[in-house]
Homo-oligomer: A and B are copies of this chain.
Amino acid sequence: MNGLSRAAIIAVGSELLTASRVDTNSLFITDRVNTLGVDVVFKAVVGDDREELAGMVRLALTRADLVICCGGLGPTDDDVTREAAAAAVGLHLREDEAITERLRVRFKARFTGEMPEINRRQAMVPDGARVIENPNGSAPGLWIDVENHAVLLLPGPPRELKPMVDGLVAGLLRERCSGRVLMRRVLKIAGRIESQTEEELMPLYVRWRNWPIPVEATILASLGQLELHLSARAPSGDEATAVLREAVEDVIKVLGADVFTTEGRDLEEVLGDLLLARGFRIAVAESCTGGLIASRLTDVAGSSRYVERGVVAYSNEAKSELLGVPSALIAEYGAVSEPVGRAMAEGIRSQARVDVGVGVTGIAGPGGGSPEKPVGTVVIAVSVGQTVQTRTARFRGERDQVKYQAAQTALDMVRRLLLPGP
């Protein structure tokens, strides 16, 4: 039997065809099967309809050698995945007494009374299928081998599906897959735009094309950062890992300190580690970001070791009373100005007796802009050691996008100031 190499993922559930729900199980599954060298060639969502699903499974089997269905394994009439998959591959369902027994035991342990007969539907198994136990729910998964193809049925709830995929399913896949593993590294980059970065990396893309195994690179731009995804496929994980390690070094030679992580971490986590390494504590004074910087810093577990306090000084009185910004300074330069940003950073730092002070003041919009200071104008000041660094930026987008980019830039300014010197 050739190894499985092309997968189709079918999410089952009428609720996934509404305007408010999106299938995300397929992202998790894609990640896991990619790692085992399997490409996803299409994805589909179908409602709780036996005919629709059977038709889609049949189509999938003509295009893919591994068909993964998620959802529709419950006990009710709406749950049609077992029947539809069995019909699509021409197999009969029979009750697996061992499963029925487990279901009865499980039911008794959780509810009073006997298990309703309808629940026995969850014990129906196509001839020759392999049962995949579900430690977090009643619906077992099923692995059905059909000539050189396989159909895999998994329950829909992510907390049931995920451990099953990472457990027995990964084992079965490893046995049957092509054997070429795919490894991935996620780099995140601050302070750069996509097109310029793409251009600077172009010589690397060329170099990586066949060297010694191909490295694929994808840039994803999101608010305030770029992600560079590198992947390599090789017969062994070690080989792919070694090539990726070199590729990451190549990127760092070009982009330097703009790369803030090579392991897919968040900026606030990276900054937290830098603060801990130096034994530094931080305090933030925010106006337009409205608490977002403090909230992001404190999203990190253990951040109470280095976040001392924050002040959201939305009114001018708050800036003067809480941060000691002279009202004359605000009157002279305006609340959104480098002198005021600097006074906020220094004020919070000295008041909190910490090593790093941050001050941010700006116009998040949609109101409040002027010709000299349009919406999106943000002043960021960072006080560390003997220096105060100040920057005036102009961000685009809606109010929440301005807030986010200002917070990202402030965190990144602190990060760069804390990097070990050359």
Contacts and interface: CB of A to CB of B under 8 A. Distances in A.
Contact of A42 (B45, B220, B294): B45
A44 B47 contact: no
Interface stretch (A75-83, A95-103, A234-242, A305-313): A305-313
A63 B55 contact: yes
Given A52-B41, A290-B294, A291-B294, A218 B311 contact: no
A42 B34 contact: no
A312 B294 contact: yes
Nearest to A307: B314
Contacts of A312: 284, 291, 294, 298, 307, 309-312
Contact of A59 (B19, B40, B55): B55
B30 A41 contact: no
A350 interface: no
Interface string A206-244: 000000000000101000000101000000000000000
**CB-CB nearest 8 A-B residue pairs:** A290-B298, A291-B294, A310-B312, A291-B291, A309-B318, A19-B31, A291-B295, A19-B30
Query: What secondary structure prevails in chain A residues at the interface with B?
Result: mixed
Given A309-B322, A322-B311, A218 B15 contact: yes
Contacts of A293: 291
A46 interface: yes
A126 to B, nearest CB: 23
Q: Interface size for chain A: under 10, 10 to 19, 20 to 34, or 35 or more residues?
A: 35 or more
Given A20-B229, A308-B314, A322-B311, A295 B298 contact: no
A28 B52 CA distance: 23
A321 to B, nearest CB: 8
A386 interface: no
A347 to B, nearest CB: 12
Given A19-B27, A301-B367, A310-B312, 8 more contacts: A15-B218, A55-B59, A295-B403, A298-B312, A307-B312, A309-B311, A309-B313, A310-B314
A131 interface: no
A309 B318 CA distance: 6
A308 B55 CA distance: 60
A400 B352 CA distance: 25
Contacts of A314: 298, 303-304, 307-310
Contact of A292 (B15, B295, B367): B295
